[in-house]
Structures are given as C-alpha cells and as structure tokens.
Amino acid sequence: MALPLALTMGEPAGIGGEITLQAWLRRGERVPPFYVIDDPQRLAGLAAALDWPVPIAAIATAGDAPAVFPRALPVLPVGGAVRARPGRPDPGDAALVIGAIETAVADVEAGRAAAIVTNPVHKDTLYRAGFRHPGHTEFLAELAACDTAPVMMLVAADLRVVPVTIHLALKDAAARLTRAAIVHAGRVMHAALVRDFAVAEPVIAVAGLNPHAGEGGALGREEIDIVAPAIADLRAAGIDARGPSAADTMFHARARRGYDAALCMYHDQALIPIKTIDFDGAVNVTLGLPFVRTSPDHGTAFDIAGTGAARPDSLIAALKLAPAMAARRREAALRP
C-alpha cells in the first residue's frame, strides 16, 4: 500500500481546516490518501458547524491512514486542544502549529509518509510566540539540516515560475539581487525539473529586472551587470538558460510553449502571471529539500474562515502533485 501524505494543520483560525475537510469530501476525484496532524475535536466541531458529512477518525500512527481514509478523515492528534476560533488567531496555538510541522518532517524522514503538504500559517501569530524563522520554508530547511537555501517554485497547469527574491519591498529586491542568487536558484530549479518533474532537458527562461529587460542599459544596468553574467554561468554549467527577456512578453501562451520554467527576479514578476493563469489551482513547491513539500498558493483568509466559502482547489492540487513528485524522485534515485 502506498504511503500516505502528511498534511499539517496550519493556522487553526484560518481556512486550513475547512479546505482539509473539503479535500477529503472530494477524495473520489483521485485525491491521494492523506492524514492531517491536527486537533480531532476542532475538526469534528468545524464539520458539524458547517453541516458537512466528514467523520473524523483519530489515528495512532501514519501507517493507519490508508485503511481509514476511504471511510473517515484520518487525524493524527497534534497533542493539544486548539484555542483559536475562525478568524481569531491565538498565539497560544503556536506550539501546536509548529509541532504539526515537526511531526510531518519526522514522519517523512522516517519513511512513514510519502511527502509533506502544509496548510497556510499566519506568521505574525508565530512571531508573537517567539518563532524566529521567516516562514515555513526556512523552518523546514533547518529541520532537514539543509546546507543550501531552498527555492520556492509556483506550479500551475502550464506554467512553472521561480522568484529569485521573495518577500521584499521592491526597492530591496532590486538592491539584493545578485549574480550568485540567480545562479543558485537556476541550479536548484534545473535539478528539480529533471528529478521531480521528469523534464529530461529543461529550458529555463530568465526574466530581466527592468522594463524591456533594461533596453541595453537605458532603463537600468542590472541585466548587463547581474542577470546576463548569471545566465552565462548557468549555461557554462550545462543548463539551458535563455534571456534576459522582457517580462511583459514572457507569459502569453505562445511564449510559454518555448520553455519549461521561468526564472523571475522578484515576487510579483513571478506570481502575477501564475495567479492570473490559475488563481485557484496553483501550488507552492519548495525545491532543494531532501523530501517533497507542497502547499496551497494562498494564505489563511481570516475574513472567510469558518464560513465554508473557501475553495479547496489549490490544496487538492498540492495533494495530487506531491506524490507524483515523490514517485519521480524515487525513480530518479534508481537510475544509474
């Protein structure tokens, strides 16, 4: 029997609980078996409040999940009762949120889970409880003892994007953009495309930073001084990186057919096209970890939490993508 996926609870005041319930309700749509690390009573109460027919089954270990999944949502107790209410986060829950992530990592590293899928967290609530990491990705990297920085990829049906700089003000993103950072992101995404997405010879389109890719220096020298040298480094390493290209012409349908993934210079340059193309179904993937981790490409949505209005599409896409990536990774490991 295939290993189940470990799904973390995320911020309990957000929509993670209800999209988890909906993902189980749609298990007939080829949603793979998963278990959620959460408070069983919280999920049972949420299902009752929404009048959704989701039986909750507390399990003792991840190994119990596949047999339970067809008839009930398997919940591995997180070890405490949640205090938050929908839309009203409580810093007292931070230890449970963090503990769910730690349990998921322990399960995947021990071979009890195939991959990790994380529900959205609320970083401000974690920070107020003393959490010292910028976010999920950095915490996962520490738990996995990674010696290089992981890379964020967003995946939709016909577009994959990686931003070199992420959660920075635009002026800071430009100031911190370096040749080394572009090369690192390009190398990690190339390796992941080959290993986790089975793209034999990836083509990576590299965006410029400035409008029209700088127009030969008239609109900025970053393309000349930083981006083009990084592309040359990637090509010297055997990676088919092309550019720098004007970002405003990279993402229409005909252009997308010319590459396997786009390497973008800052957050919105990557996320605007992918959310325009597939707002509800895009998936956040962390590259460079020793295990597969996916996540919905949205936040906690406190404004609609507890109403049942949240769509589970992105979580379901993350649940479907994770085992496919894990299987390709296993196959790659077996190849000579």
Confidence of residue 132 (pLDDT cuts 50, 70, 90): confident
The CA distance from 138 to 140, in Å, is: 5
Per-residue pLDDT, averaged over 165-183, amounts to 94
Confidence of residue 1 (pLDDT cuts 50, 70, 90): low
Query: Tens of pLDDT along 61-81?
Result: 999 999 999 999 999 999 999
Per-residue pLDDT, averaged over 126-150, amounts to 83
* DSSP-assigned beta bridge partners for residue 205: 242, 262
The CA distance from 59 to 42, in Å, is: 15
Query: Tens of pLDDT along 216-252?
Result: 999 999 999 999 999 999 999 999 999 999 999 999 9
The CA distance from 84 to 128, in Å, is: 15
Contacts of 335 (CB under 8 A, 6+ apart): none
The CA distance from 317 to 284, in Å, is: 10
- Residue 336 confidence (pLDDT) above 80: no
Q: Which domains does the chain have, with CATH numbers?
A: 1-148+285-336 (3.40.718.10), 158-277 (3.40.718.10)
Q: What is the mean pLDDT of the chain?
A: 95
Confidence of residue 109 (pLDDT cuts 50, 70, 90): very high
pLDDT score for 123? 84
